Structure 1
Amino acid sequence: MHKVEGLKIWRKAMDLTKSIYQLVTELPSDENYGLKSQIKRCSISIPSNISEGAGRNSNKEFKHFLSIANGSAYELQTQLILLWELNLISKEKVQPIIEQCIEIQKMNYSFQKTL
């Protein structure tokens, strides 16, 4: 078992989620139950799955949950691209968060290889 608070990838995923929560406050209210809700759920899924995997009984199970977290990171990246393609938020505001997503994706692949 891994202590989740000591995992750099979990900390980065938590930071990403906080960035997402700040970003979506800029979305129009008619997106409260659309992209805004989906983006928030997706971002929360990343550190949550890392945490759940860390609490499992084997590295095989942990890898499975890391895989789910990585899928959520790619889903989030797509939704962020959609935000600026729909002109809901500027690319300049979205791009740094996309870069956070990509960093977590790379960390996730590397971490899975070590398990």
Structure 2
Amino acid sequence: MKSHKDLDIYNLAFEYALEVHQITLRLPKYELFEQGSQLRRSSKSIKDNIVEGYGRRRYKQDFIKFLVYAHASLLESLSQLEMIQQIYPELEINDLLEKYNMLGAKIFKFIKYVEKEWKS
């Protein structure tokens, strides 16, 4: 790996954050600064924590810590998406929920890999 951009989890997180951004702009105006803003921040936090962890990859425990933060931000994003799905079913975000669930599994698996195989 030469860059964080070589990580599948980073690329997916980046792509999904862009999708989230577009979806939240379709929310009613009063939600742009409430639910929409919170979801945009948590979805972008996933990719940002992966990048920061990668930047600290020399220190295995720091890398793991930031991957755990990324996973926690993903769970927050899922919670926000589930709320939006209930309130605004017309936005049809089932596919995005499924994508985030799969990304969560990939991040979890990558954390396990780093715990067992990563050389610091």
Deviation of 1:101 after TM superposition, in Å, equals 0.8
| 1:95 aligns to 2:90 (yes or no) | no
Match of 2:4 in 1: 4
What is the aligned length?
113
Deviation of 1:104 after TM superposition, in Å, equals 1.1
Is the 2:24–2:32 Cα contact (8 Å) retained in structure 1? no
- Within 1, Cα distance between the matches of 2:13 and 2:104? 10
List alignment gaps of at least 5 residues for structure 1.
none
Calculate the TM-score normalised by the size of structure 2.
0.88
> Percent of pairs identical after alignment?
27
Over 4 Å off, 4+ runs: none
Match of 2:25 in 1: 25
Match of 2:71 in 1: 70
- Within 2, Cα distance between the matches of 1:107 and 1:84? 23
Deviation of 1:90 after TM superposition, in Å, equals 2.7
Is the 1:77–1:101 Cα contact (8 Å) retained in structure 2? yes
Partner deviation per Cα, 1:46-98 (whole Å, 9 max, x = no partner): 00000000000312111100100101111111111101211x2436x211111
Calculate the TM-score normalised by the size of structure 1.
0.92
RMSD over aligned CA atoms reads 1.4
Higher relative contact order (CA 8 A, sep 6+): 1
List alignment gaps of at least 5 residues for structure 2.
115-120
